[in-house]
Amino acid sequence: MLKRFNSLQASLLLHELSFVFLVLITGTVGIIWSVSWQHSSEESLRLSSMNTTMQNIRGELYRQLKEVFDASFLHDKDAENEYQAYTKTINSYFVGLTALAVDEHEHDAIKRVSDAYQKFHGETAKLLGQPELDINQKDLLDKQLEQYVFAQLEHAFTGLDTVLKDKQNALSLSRQRWTTRLSWLAPIPVLLAIGLLIAARHFVRRNVVQPLADVIDGAKRISKGDLQHTIPLMGVADLIRLSEAINAMADEIAVSRDRLIETKKQAALGELVPLVAHNIRNPLAGIRAASQVARDEDPSMYTKDALTDIIVAVDRLERWVTSLLSYLHPVEPHLSQTTLTAVADNALSLIELQLADKEITIERVGWKEASKIVAVDIHLFEQAIFNLVQNALETSSSGDVIQLHYSQQPEQVSLTIADQGLGMKYDPVAEQVTDGGAKRQGCGLGIPFSLKVIKQHAGQLIYGTTSSGGTIVTIKLPITNHERANEKV
């Protein structure tokens, strides 16, 4: 249910609906109280009206009785007319009283008063029709009418008065109950308002304000070049989508930046490599020609072997130069079946003199076990390993040891080159500074060339740091199903 409101617009709608609900609650409480108070006021007015009408009837009844006495004992000629006028007035009061009655108890009480009055009216009307009252009639008027008939009227009035007082008491109790209810109903809207305010503040802070602050902070960091920063996916769906979009944008910028760096390197190599290759090939051609001529003159066996080594080295350097040029215009590697240790030995043979000059020792580990066959372009891979060992040689001091460690698993083979130098503060593969105080710096052509060659063979080049602080470079090459099949054969 809450997921339906997991958006900025829906959250605002929920917030508005909450306060509409609060207004409805407050209005409902007010309307209920108003209706109850109005009903109570109307009932109070009705009961007061009935009580006033009853008192009016009683007053008119006494005046009507007085007219009977005036006509009988004082022979008042106007008494009969006034008597009839009081009769009409009293009857109109009964009509009004009956109209005000709302339940059976009130109607019954009014009927008892009306019946008693009708009996009283019947007895007194007879007395008015006599010109002269005898002793019995006077006794009836003086004693029996007053003691019996009029007493019944008073009893009926008392009954109606009791009904009206009971209604007044019930109305008073009802008002007290509503007053009590109001004492705890009135704080409810206030408490709801406070609760909604706290809930809304917490919701907005957790799902809008804080995530929006993270988005703003993340955007600032990314704009300053921290493309590895990831904005946390928090808050409503709109902010989550915005965070995902900014994170995706940062990833795309990082990829574009890497591509731009690679393009710049390619452009630099495109300008440099042909010049270097031309300047190397000319001396190599002269060296090979001189060595070939000197060997054809039938020198001593030792000299002939040395000249042959020179020619082999020159031919290998020529192939390397050709491979370096092909790096600018990548082609499919010419794969051959060989071992990684054999390729490494060929590359190391060209650097033996430099190793001897700096008194640096090469330590081979894992060469004794039978190496697995891999499919590589031998010339490209020799140059790649040569470049990596050359970098290790340049950072090493006299007397250091450069270790080449070969290992193999069922799915891949690995060659690790570890030196005892000062280490690199910049990862040339991931292009990230590994030392906070270091700055980005170029890595020459050797590493980019080696990285590209290894990637062309679906391998990995991994840089790290040894326990002593030197640099460790690992080449990992996968063994294809075809190569594993050849091993079994």
DSSP per-residue letters across 23-88 = HHHHHHHHHHHHHHHHHHHHHHHHHHHHHHHHHHHHHHHHHHHHHHHHHHHS--TTHHHHHHHHHH
Write the DSSP assignment of 411-450 as a string of letters. SEEEEEEE--S---SEETTTTEESSTT------TTHHHHH
At 434 the pLDDT is: 43
CA distances from 34 to 114, 186, 189 (A): 37, 13, 16
| Residues lower than pLDDT 50 in the chain | 1-2, 431-443, 485, 488-489
Residue (of 153, 136, 152, 15) closest to 90 by Cα position? 153
Residue 299: inside a domain, yes or no? no
At 441 the pLDDT is: 39
pTM for the whole structure: 0.42
Beta carbons of 127 and 141 less than 8 angstroms apart: yes
At 414 the pLDDT is: 93
Name the token pair of 61: 């009844």
What is the spatial distance between Cα 341 and Cα 11, in angstroms, rounded to a whole number? Answer: 65
> 294 — phi, psi (to 5°)?
-65, -35
Which domain covers residue 414, as residue numbers? 333-488
At 322 the pLDDT is: 66
Residue range 2-61, pLDDT digits in tens = 455 566 666 667 667 777 777 777 777 778 778 877 888 888 898 899 899 988 988 888
Run of H or E residues at 173: helix 150-185
Residue 391: inside a domain, yes or no? yes
At 483 the pLDDT is: 54
In DSSP terms, which residues pair with 464 in a beta bridge?
472
At 204 the pLDDT is: 74
Q: Which of 137, 167, 185 is the last residue of a domain?
A: 185
Overall number of domains in the chain: 2
First to last CA, the chain: 64
Q: Is the dihedral of CA 369, 374, 378, 380 positive or negative?
A: negative
Residue 129: inside a domain, yes or no? yes
Up-side HSE of residue 234: CA atoms within 13 Å toward CB? 17
CB atoms closer than 10 angstroms to residue 97: 24
At 247 the pLDDT is: 84
Residue 217: inside a domain, yes or no? no
At 417 the pLDDT is: 93
Name the token pair of 96: 């009004």
At 486 the pLDDT is: 54
Residue 123: inside a domain, yes or no? yes
Residue 245: inside a domain, yes or no? no
Name the token pair of 114: 């009306």
CA 446 to chain centre: 48
Query: 361-365 and 401-408: which strand pairing?
Result: parallel
Beta carbons of 152 and 116 less than 8 angstroms apart: yes
Buried b or exposed e, range 166-178, using 16+ CB within 10 angstroms? ebeeebeeebeeb
At 307 the pLDDT is: 76
Residue 424: inside a domain, yes or no? yes
Beta carbons of 459 and 477 less than 8 angstroms apart: yes
Beta carbons of 380 and 347 less than 8 angstroms apart: no
What is the spatial distance between Cα 25 and Cα 35, in angstroms, rounded to a whole number? Answer: 15
Domain containing residue 106: CATH number: 1.20.120
In DSSP terms, which residues pair with 472 in a beta bridge?
418, 464
* Residues 6+ positions from 159 with CB-CB distance below 8 Å: 109, 112, 113
At 435 the pLDDT is: 46
CA distances from 329 to 80, 266, 336, 383 (A): 140, 10, 21, 17
Q: Which of 185, 215, 238 is the last residue of a domain?
A: 185
Q: Which of 150, 168, 185 is the last residue of a domain?
A: 185
Residue 376: inside a domain, yes or no? yes
What is the spatial distance between Cα 62 and Cα 339, in angstroms, rounded to a whole number? Answer: 139
What is the spatial distance between Cα 273 and Cα 279, in angstroms, rounded to a whole number? Answer: 10
Domain containing residue 434: CATH number: 3.30.565.10
